Amino acid sequence: MDAFRDNVVVLTGASRGIGRELALQLADQGAWLALSARDAAALDEVAALCRGCGGQAVAIPADVGEEAQCAALIRKTVEAYGRVDTLINNAGISMWALFEEVTDLSVFETILRINYLGSVWCTWHALPHLKKTRGRLVAVASLTGKTGVPTRSGYAASKHAMVGFFDTLRIELAESGVSVTVTCPDFVATEIRERAFGADGKPLGTSPVQEAKVMTAETCARLILASAARRDRELIPSLRGKIGLWLKLFAPSLIDRIARKAIAEGR
């Protein structure tokens, strides 16, 4: 699959986890990458790896929680490559705490700015360029954007907002040639849970999940790129997610109980 050969791809959250794997797999296809994240050193490392495996890559450090930096990311991409063919909104931060135990409410604003508003801002600044190329918009949301999950209230809210925004945008852009693919991964083996906000607003430092039992970032990235290449409207990568969303239509209380049990067991 070389759907992204010579395709100019803007990828946020590219320094680790799913974003890092997306970058490497896109480079394998010969994409022209504009990679962004807050960690400049880690981003430079990923960009070098991408260039080493056949892709073109520029590192553009940015905090997508600031609109001006989102605008600069798109502007610098166009300066480097002349166009934008694909925007993958992947940057994200999580939380892991019961709502009533949260002592630092600022985490909710931070999560919304990075997960939701960052996607809105990057998309708004990229859209004129994407319409010229009849390009692709890809949102890396989450299964928590489809259903509530205990201890994830701020994260789930941001991902619900993300799903609603891109589902609406898909309708608005139906005649533009720009496709909108919303992906909703289940748990994936990345560092996002170690870096997630705890009740006190500080990173957890350790993962509450049995990481060895969840989908790898490599597999998740491969499924996302295949779905984006086909210009699918939506991707639910895990079987558990597909079954769970179907059951939610008929037995929502059952899904609530399953979610509580899964979180309690770290799976």
Query: What is the rounded CA–CA span in Å between residue 218 and residue 224?
Result: 10
Q: Any alpha helices (H) in the chain, and if so which ranges?
A: 17-28, 40-52, 67-81, 106-111, 118-133, 153-172, 217-229, 239-250, 252-265
Q: Which of 96, 121, 155, 187 is catalytic?
A: 155
User: For residue 198, what is the DSSP state?
Assistant: -
Cα 151–chain centre separation: 19
CA dist., res. 70 & res. 119, Å (int): 9
Helices within 97-209 (DSSP H only): 106-111, 118-133, 153-172
**Euclidean distance between CA atoms 165 and 162, whole angstroms:** 5
- Asked whether 163 and 146 are in contact (CB, 8 A), the reply is yes
- Catalytic status, residue 155: yes
Both structure tokens of 121: 């801002």
Question: Cα separations (Å) of 43 from 57, 136, 195, 251?
Answer: 10, 23, 17, 44
Task: Report the C-alpha gap between 267 and 249 in whole angstroms.
Answer: 22
Rounded to 5 degrees, φ, ψ at 119 are -65, -40
Q: How many CB atoms lie within 10 A of CB 30?
A: 15
The residue assigned the tokens 């299964």 is 143
Catalytic residue numbers, as ranges: 155
